[in-house]
Amino acid sequence: MMASPALIVGIFAAAVLLVLMSILWISGLLGGQHPNRNKNIPFESGLGANTSTHPRTPVAFYLLAVSFLVFELEAAFLFAWAVAFHALGWGPVVAGLAFMVILGLGLFYEWRMGGLQWH
């Protein structure tokens, strides 16, 4: 008798969880946590173990990152359009060109408003 695919996937998932839990348990057993004074002294960077090492990120970075995501997503739509370009009629071609014009206008607007400047 052949087992159903759902049963096979369930057995595999249980085996994976068992292996992962075993690895975590063994690493905790062998490695352990032994905090002492030497582990809390500053290392090569001169910063203590409890010091935050990440400076604040400027807002300009987030604005530029969001702009990148928007234009990158629209570029992904254009790749799909470009693959089917030869098989399309005039309607989708004109719509794709209008989409690119709108993208260009959006990029021009962002450039004029200083959204691409890194201060």
| Per-run averaged pLDDT (10 residues), the chain, 119 residues | 88 97 91 71 62 70 84 85 84 88 90 80
The first and second tokens of residue 110, run together, are 């962002």
Give the predicted TM-score (pTM) of the model.
0.46
At 113, list the tokens. Answer: 């408003």
Domains of the chain by residue range: 1-54, 59-112
What is the C-alpha to C-alpha distance for residues 69 and 75, in angstroms, rounded to an integer? 10
